[in-house]
Structure 1
Amino acid sequence: MIHADTAMLGARILIVDDQQANVSLLEEMLSQAGYTNVSSTLDPLAVSALHRRHDYDLILLDLHMPAMDGFQVIEALKTNERDAWLPVLVITAQPGHKLRALQAGARDFVSKPFDLLEVLTRIRNMLEVRLLYRRMQDHNAVLDAMVRERTAELRESEARYRSLTELASDWYWEQDEDGVFTKVSGPVLEMLGIRVDGAGEPADSTAASGWDETERSALQSAIEARQPFLDFIFSRVNPDGSRQRFRVSGEPMFGRACQFLGYRGIGVEISRDTEGTC
C-alpha cells in the first residue's frame, strides 16, 4: 500500500488552463494533498508536444480556452499512438459539455466551481486506473520480450539441430504435407534420384528401378500413418548389380493447431555391396 501511494503521489500531472489563477489554485491543492510531480501550461497548443515528451499520468484540462479549446486538445492528443488510453480529466463550468467531453475521449470530468474533496477523489481514482493500465502495459511488454527471446532460442536451437544432423548424416530432408521435398541437404539427390519439387518422385525412370518394393511400401505406410520412424533400413539394386543400403529416420511435424505440416529427417548410406560385378 505504501508503494502504491508513493507511485500515485509521484505521478506526472499536467494542468492545462489559460487562467493563471485557476492553475495556481489546482497546483496548491495538489501540493497540499502530497502530489510532488505537478507541472502546468497556459498554452493549449503546447499540450500534445508536452505529453509526447513527458508521458503524463494525468492531464487536468480546461475546456474553455482561446486559440484551441479542450475538445481540440483531446483530438490532438489522440495522435499519440503510444497512448491508447487518454489520461484526461476535463474541467468545465458547463454541464452540457460533460457528456461531449466523455464521448470525445476524456475519462472523467470536474465541475466548476471546484469542490476540493470531489476533485481530489476523482484525481485519485483516475490515477489508480492509469497506474494499473501502465502496469498492464509493462507486463505485456515483458511477455512480448520473453516470447521474442524464446522464439530466437528456438530458431537457434533448430539451426544447431540441423547443423548437427548434417554433420552426423549424409543428408537432411523435409517434406511438406503433400510429400514434396522442400529442403534437402547433402548428396541425397545423387544417392536417391529425388527431385526436390516433385513430391519425392524419382528424377527419372532409371533411378526408380531396383528399390525393394516391400521396404518402400512399409516406409510409405509409416508416413501415411503420420508415424515417426527410426533407423529404417531400405535398399536398392543398381543397374551394375551393386546393392546400396540406407538408414533413414524421420518424424512428422505439426503446427500449433495440430495440423500436419509434413516430415523431416536424416539419412545415411550404410553400405554398398558389389554383387555380380566382374
Structure 2
Amino acid sequence: MIALSEMLQAHVLIVDDQHANVLLLCELLRNAGYTRVSSTMDPTEVAGLHAAHRYDLILLDLQMPVLDGFAVMAQLQAVEPSGYLPVLVLTAQPNHKLRALQAGARDFISKPFDLVEVETRIRNMLEVRLLYQRLAQHNQLLEQTVTERTAELRESEARFKSFTELSSDWYWEQDAKGRFTNISGPVLEMLDLQLADDGLTAIATPGGRDAGQRRELDELIARREPFIDFVYHRIDAAGARQYLQVSGEPRFDQAGRFIGYRGIGLDITARAPDTLP
C-alpha cells in the first residue's frame, strides 16, 4: 500500500489549453493536499517538461490546438524509457476514450468534470503509479544485489582456487557427469587417467595405481562423499613407488542438485615414506 502522505507529494502536471480548466484542477488538487502541482497550456512543452521532471501523473486534455493529446502521447512515448505513460486524459468525446487507452493513456476523466470522480481517479491512478515505481526500484535493487553477489562469489572462487593451487601440486574440477572442466597441474598423470577425444571425459589408463585404492576412491566419488587426505600409491615411469594424497568435495547448486566435484592433490613421497604403507 502507498501512504496518503506519499501520494500527496507526487509530482502532477496539468495540461489543458483552457485556462478555466487549469485553474479548476489546480485548485482541486491543492485543496486535496497535493503539494507538487504544475501546469501548462502549451502542449508542445509537455514532452520536454516530462523529460526534465518525470511527473508521476499527467492530466492531459485531448482536444488542443497545434498538438492534440494523441500527438502529445506519441511524443511522451519517445522520452519515457520505461514505456509506462502516467497519463490521465481529459475528454468530452466518448468515442476518444478507447483510442486514448490504446495510445498509452492509463485512464480518462470525462468533461464536464465531476469533482468527486476527478479526485478519486487521480488518487487511484497515483497509487498504481507509485506502486509501479516501487516495484521497478525493487527490481533494480534486486538486480544490483544479484550482480554484486555474483561478483563476490567469483572473487571468492578465484581466491579459493589461488589458495588451493599454492597449497597443492594439482587442482581439478569435475561436472556432475565426472567430466573434467578445470585442471591445474599434473592431475591426469597422478590419477593414471587420460582424456577422451571430447577433451573432458577421463579414461583410466593401465598404470601403477593400486587397483584396490583406485576402487575405494571411485566408490567415494560415486556416493558423492567428501574425502580428506586420501593416500594412495602408484608406480611412476621410472619404476619407483610414489605416494600421493588427495582431497575432494562434492559441489551442489542452490537447489541442492549435485553439480560435480573439486579437489586438490599432493605428492607426499618425500615427506615420510617410512611411515606410509
TM range (shorter): 0.7 to 0.9
Q: Kindly state the Cα deviation for residue 212 of structure 1 after the two structures are TM-superposed.
A: 0.9
Q: Does 1:171 align with 2:170?
A: yes
Deviations 1:84-140 (A, max 9, x none): 432111100012222332233322211111222221222122112222222222223
For the residues of structure 2 that align with 1:264 and 1:210, how far apart are their CA atoms? 23
For the residues of structure 2 that align with 1:100 and 1:200, how far apart are their CA atoms? 66
For the residues of structure 1 that align with 2:127 and 2:138, how far apart are their CA atoms? 16
Hey, what does 1:103 align to over in structure 2? 102
CA contact (8 A) 2:192 2:208 kept: no
RMSD of the alignment, in Å?
A: 2.8
Q: Does 1:63 align with 2:65?
A: no
Identify the range of structure 1 (48-57 vs 76-85) with the bigger mean alpha-carbon deviation: 76-85
Hey, what does 1:200 align to over in structure 2? 202
Q: Kindly state the Cα deviation for residue 25 of structure 1 after the two structures are TM-superposed.
A: 2.8
Hey, what does 1:214 align to over in structure 2? 212
SS at match of 1:262: strand
Hey, what does 2:8 align to over in structure 1? 9
CA contact (8 A) 1:18 1:43 kept: yes
**Which of 227, 230, 254 pairs up with 1:229?**
227
For the residues of structure 2 that align with 1:38 and 1:118, how far apart are their CA atoms? 18
For the residues of structure 2 that align with 1:241 and 1:159, how far apart are their CA atoms? 37
- In the superposition, the TM-score normalised over structure 1's length comes to 0.84
Q: CA distance change for structure 1 residues 221 and 245 in 2, over 3 Å: closer, same or farther?
A: same
Amino acid in the other structure paired with 1:230:
I
Amino acid in the other structure paired with 2:212:
T
For the residues of structure 1 that align with 2:104 and 2:236, how far apart are their CA atoms? 78
SS at match of 1:154: helix
Amino acid in the other structure paired with 1:223:
I
Q: Kindly state the Cα deviation for residue 220 of structure 1 after the two structures are TM-superposed.
A: 1.9
- In the superposition, the TM-score normalised over structure 2's length comes to 0.84
Which structure 2 residue ranges, 5 or more long, are not aligned?
Answer: none
Amino acid in the other structure paired with 1:165:
T
Deviations 1:10-49 (A, max 9, x none): 2111111233332233223323332221122233333233
CA contact (8 A) 1:102 1:108 kept: yes
SS at match of 1:172: strand
SS at match of 2:147: helix
Which structure 1 residue ranges, 5 or more long, are not aligned?
Answer: none
Alignment of 1:76-225 (within 5 A): 76-80=75-79, 82-188=81-187, 191-192=190-191, 195=194, 197-201=199-203, 208-225=206-223
SS at match of 2:267: strand
Amino acid in the other structure paired with 1:135:
R
For the residues of structure 2 that align with 1:66 and 1:224, how far apart are their CA atoms? 78
Deviations 1:59-94 (A, max 9, x none): 001111233322232333334553343211110001
Hey, what does 2:238 align to over in structure 1? 240
